[in-house]
Structure 1
């Protein structure tokens, strides 16, 4: 087999309605990744293969390719394709094509009929950062870095830091930026301001607020509701009837100098509203650019801030329900970024499917449509949709939506849970590059039967012994 015919395009189940052949071809052409000769693994097939890897995160490369192409006339030659060929095909495709696919499919999902997506005429958006564990390869560790023990000894997995902007009501991802473990969330968040505009209320956690952050997001017309640290309360200007007060903050000298070097202009000061509220036995603070206490009551804003946690559920869906629940597959930096853009694109497509199902009469909250159930429906649809026409895909999309909402989840409870570390790492592991630099030609053996703290000198658990190769 030397190529694929026009009628031999694979399908990715009901998600083909989102990831159309025209969309994939446009992304490939934009970055000049089209083949100059006929290949067994053309670029468009590799795009669908990478998307399918996210749907079947625990399956091997060969099994995912078999599920994706079984039933296609003339696809028998793909049975001889091995993992190394698929890895080379991913490398030829690069990361830019999948990023473009993500940016083409992403966009606002909420409509005026979407429950929980709006508050007093404002569309609710959540902004937050998270980390994705990566395979412990030398290139991943050198490029992205990761947690380190005392003395700078790396332990655990290398990690990518992602800052994501998502809708609260759906929750579909609108935009994202990827960086290394040492990159600050605030710096990664600045470009996301371009995906907001008038009528949007961006809810963010502590650590994001600054004069520059407020300026960047409000320039486009968006409003902010951000948790404040105690050193970001500014200078009180006026007390308001509801107990909140207007405050003023000025950019620091370092911020002004950096902006001047980059040719940017910052305001001399910003005015924002500070709301104090009781959080357990402590006092917490919110900062908002919604200054009118009558139109935007303080007690409603305090209750509204809880909705930021919807983005944490989106992270859980991507990592654990859609993803492998641990490190992703790719062992090269370009492959990591390619895979993460694919995860974000597939998550948005499944959220679009769930939202469409939720709006079917009678309308239910999108929270009550099980995301895991939607993932399973999409997985099952791939073998049954090979060679399907566009009309059949549309019917299948609607039928699958009725199945997804057949037994909705119970209404979300208003519960509270204190912050806790759910994945403690008491076993520092020397990464490949650190092990090669420090203990060659041997390796550290850890005594996992003891519960002693890591040694400050070695960064290892208990009594480390050097085992020679």
Structure 2
């Protein structure tokens, strides 16, 4: 642009960086980071080039500039953090090896603890779509994240396809209306997802309606969750069983069994079947939902279908951050410990973005779930 000085262009180039660093500092203020570092016991005993608190912010910033190298990420981070911590502003960017050692010293538990400090629902009774029949509407969903194909990662993480790199799994429970994550599990194996749903449900009370996809349906987990008082609306690949009773609205009751031989005590569910017309050129999609809400008058089928359409999906939500070049793994960490660290940092950054969205819609009557974000292009620095 004619007449624009080099200094002005540089300031303009750095402004988005500083906004993103400011977002991280707002969601994770230095006092919180320092407290979590102290509680995790990873604070340094002597002065280091990269203190633990700064390493926490660096690990978060790896997702802000997902395509950049270590030194470039730290350089931009220090520019943005100078106004928060004066003692960090004059630091020299160390070598990549020194940065890697600092991440290894930090470990992953501190990032999990940091996520735990900011996780949780944020919607209230006035939040559009947050509640249905006085129940908070939540969803559980899973995501597989590619990690670098190293010997250590191959031994620690599952590889469902020999042609693909190893993967770490994230299973998360979120509030559908706001996208805020309430709790999450990060693991290396492919443990049955429905068992993780039971574990995550400990983070909500009985005033919850829980939506889930096809990976989570199962009689045992169903019984466990309904006994806690949760209402369930889950998708399944096929009907639970032959109709036991056809209801007036065309839905029907069926039995969900604990095993393939129909042994034990069945679980009675209501089955809702419907088809959604596709966009132009797309085939229609058929849905089969099973629900613990067996009374059509109290839970009309059309409302259940509309609820399921608003189900929070982790893959779509995380995609605004997880922006890598084609063929690259989603994570850059070459050892399992740091893979876990980086994955928890991904959830932290996602929560910071949801915090920003929530702040934008609060008080103006907007539906947070209707706000979409384009993938963040952090550039290669």
Q: State the match for 1:159 in structure 2.
A: 167
Q: Does 1:128 align with 2:141?
A: yes
Q: Does 1:94 align with 2:107?
A: yes
Check 1:178–1:292 CA distance in 2 against 1; reply closer, same or farther (3 A cut): same
Displacement after TM superposition at 1:253 (Å):
8.8
Distance 1:155 1:282 in 2: 30
Task: Give the counterpart of 1:243 among 233, 238, 250.
Answer: 250
Distance 1:53 1:308 in 2: 29
List runs of 5+ in structure 2 lacking aligned partners: 1-19, 277-282
SS in 2 for 1:248: strand
Check 1:329–1:50 CA distance in 2 against 1; reply closer, same or farther (3 A cut): same
SS in 2 for 1:55: coil
Question: What pairs with 1:338-377 in structure 2 (closer than 5 Å)?
Answer: 338-361=341-364, 363-372=365-374
Displacement after TM superposition at 1:302 (Å):
2.1
Provide, for residues 334-361 of structure 1, a one-character-per-residue CA deviation record: whole Å limited to 9, x for no partner. Answer: 1111001011011111101111101243
Question: What pairs with 1:212-227 in structure 2 (closer than 5 Å)?
Answer: 212-227=220-235
Displacement after TM superposition at 1:309 (Å):
5.5
Displacement after TM superposition at 1:87 (Å):
0.8
Distance 1:55 1:281 in 2: 38
Distance 2:99 2:355 in 1: 29
Task: Give the counterpart of 2:270 among 253, 257, 273.
Answer: 273
SS in 2 for 1:124: strand
Question: What pairs with 1:58-457 in structure 2 (closer than 5 Å)?
Answer: 58-70=67-79, 71=82, 73=86, 75=88, 78-148=91-161, 154-180=162-188, 182-230=190-238, 233-234=240-241, 236-252=243-259, 268-278=265-275, 284-308=287-311, 310-320=313-323, 326-361=329-364, 363-372=365-374
Distance 2:77 2:303 in 1: 48
SS in 1 for 2:142: strand
Check 1:324–1:215 CA distance in 2 against 1; reply closer, same or farther (3 A cut): farther
SS in 1 for 2:209: strand
Displacement after TM superposition at 1:229 (Å):
2.9
Is residue 133–residue 326 contact of structure 1 (8 Å, CA) maintained in 2?
Answer: yes
Check 1:343–1:238 CA distance in 2 against 1; reply closer, same or farther (3 A cut): same
Task: Give the counterpart of 1:50 among 51, 56, 59.
Answer: 59
Displacement after TM superposition at 1:46 (Å):
1.0
> More deviation in 296-305 or 96-105?
296-305
Larger radius of gyration: 1
How many pairs were matched up? 349
SS in 2 for 1:22: helix
Provide, for residues 143-180 of structure 1, a one-character-per-residue CA deviation record: whole Å limited to 9, x for no partner. Answer: 113233xxxxx212211122121221111222221223
Provide, for residues 292-319 of structure 1, a one-character-per-residue CA deviation record: whole Å limited to 9, x for no partner. Answer: 2111101221232222265442132242
Displacement after TM superposition at 1:125 (Å):
1.4
Distance 2:240 2:345 in 1: 40
Is residue 319–residue 326 contact of structure 1 (8 Å, CA) maintained in 2?
Answer: no
Distance 1:115 1:320 in 2: 30
Distance 1:48 1:324 in 2: 27
Is residue 193–residue 216 contact of structure 1 (8 Å, CA) maintained in 2?
Answer: no
SS in 2 for 1:319: coil
Is residue 193–residue 220 contact of structure 1 (8 Å, CA) maintained in 2?
Answer: no
Distance 1:254 1:96 in 2: 43
Is residue 207–residue 229 contact of structure 1 (8 Å, CA) maintained in 2?
Answer: no
Check 1:336–1:97 CA distance in 2 against 1; reply closer, same or farther (3 A cut): same
Displacement after TM superposition at 1:18 (Å):
1.8
Distance 1:80 1:24 in 2: 21
Distance 1:370 1:162 in 2: 22
Q: How much is the aligned-residue C-alpha RMSD, in angstroms?
A: 3.0
Displacement after TM superposition at 1:254 (Å):
10
Distance 1:24 1:254 in 2: 52
Displacement after TM superposition at 1:371 (Å):
2.6
Distance 2:223 2:89 in 1: 57
Is residue 142–residue 314 contact of structure 2 (8 Å, CA) maintained in 1?
Answer: no
Is residue 119–residue 182 contact of structure 2 (8 Å, CA) maintained in 1?
Answer: yes
